[in-house]
Amino acid sequence: MSRHDASRPKPPTLHDVAERAGVSAMTASRALNGKPRVSAETREAVARAVAELGYVPNTSARMLAGRTVRRIALLHGGATTSAYLGELLLGALNEAPARNVHLTVEQCPERASMEELVAQIVEAHVAGVILPPPLCDRHELLAGLAAARIAVVAVAPDQEAEAIASVSTDDRGAAYEMTRHLIELGHRRIAFVEGTNRHRSSTRRRHGYMDALRDHEIPVDEELIVAGDFSYRSGLIAAEQLLARTEPPTAIFACNDDMAAAAVTIAHQHKISVPGELSICGFDDTPLADAIWPRLTTIRQPIKEMSQKAMEMLCARLWPEGQDELDALPQHLHLPFELRRRQSDAVPRIDR
């Protein structure tokens, strides 16, 4: 196909982002560049528009006359949901103005080689990168960035590396707490909808779920553990599979809010009362959890705060004014999770 083939869809522009967010192009630009006098609500709207459209800023246009802009990149891959990416963007955008930093967003092709990814980041002329999952678990990418002398802070890595700063929360412990909560309500047939295996957080959450069952002497039923990929569509498929079983679960714990919301939809379609007949819980506490009915009980993973802290940690390592702050920052920062109970869980009404 010719590079000028008219059938190829054009990449989204800043004007597309502005239109989606309901603001002017100038305001969208100010939000993306971390400029002051932009409200948190506007930054959030712009961040979500960027995530939904897959907009990649034109980094070559972001140079100030006579000097290089202090620039940090947020990388994301194809396995990142728009809700998760939106929260990451919002956290970084909120921190950027105080640090006098321009934030760029780089979308990494899912099957790109390490050399291609490193070259893409080098060409963006950034001093450091915020690296969320699953990219933060690509050891060859971390080695390539280190060789290129680009600083990295990993968000929610599978394992903490001595040479790589990171910020994370306890996925396994959080999944344990949610499963224990359901057990204490009286549930025994608790299903678990996994995320993609490219995100190690999914494995950590499954382990937490299984730990809680075993600690409460409930056998792990492999038929109640079904595959998903963090997408809403995969949650629809998983919920259909679970509810079609001869002995369906009385509770479904999904690995993120998108899949939990999809399970609620399937329950509604089958005229199954949530939470009267079926409790459904999620993970992340994205805005979706508070927007559907019934409102989701979920684990609040501090995604926005993790991204904000990642920006803080990068800046402290990169520029002189952050050296005093750096001494007070740990190499590996752990932020607390919170179980937020809303309307989608209850004591099981019937014994299935």
Q: Which domains does the chain have, with CATH numbers?
A: 14-169+303-318 (3.40.50.2300), 171-300 (3.40.50.2300)
pLDDT at 123: 87
Task: Determine which of 99-113, 175-189, 201-215 has the lowest per-residue pLDDT on average.
Answer: 99-113
CA–CA distance, 53 with 107 (Å, rounded to integer)? 11
Is-contact 250 187, C-beta < 8 A?
A: yes
249, 223 contact by CB (below 8 A): no
Return the C-alpha torsion angle 159, 163, 165, 168, nearest 10.
10
Measure the CA angle with vertex 229, ends 203 and 128; round to 5°.
Answer: 75
Residue type at 343 in one-letter notation: Q
Bridge partners of 300? 284, 338
Out of 34-38, 89-93, 147-151, 179-183, which region has the weakest mean confidence (pLDDT)?
Answer: 34-38
Q: What pLDDT score does 322 carry? A: 59
Is 79's pLDDT higher than 60? yes
- 287 vs 323, which has greater pLDDT? 287
Q: Please report which residue ranges of the chain form alpha helices under DSSP H.
A: 14-21, 25-32, 40-53, 82-99, 114-123, 139-147, 171-185, 200-215, 232-243, 257-269, 303-318, 323-328
- Band of the pLDDT at 269, cuts 50, 70, 90? very high
**Residue-level pLDDT at 63:** 38
Q: Which amino acid is at 182?
A: L
Q: Determine the Cα–Cα distance for residues 315 and 92; give it in Å rounded to an integer.
A: 12
Checking if the pLDDT of 4 tops 50, the result is no
Average confidence (pLDDT) over 280-291: 95
Q: Mean pLDDT across the stretch 281-305?
A: 96
- Residue 39, Cβ neighbours under 10 Å: how many? 10
pLDDT of residue 309: 95
Poorest-pLDDT segment among 9-13, 45-49, 205-209:
9-13
Residue 346 CB contacts under 8 Å (≥ 6 apart), including other chains: 185, 275, 276, 279
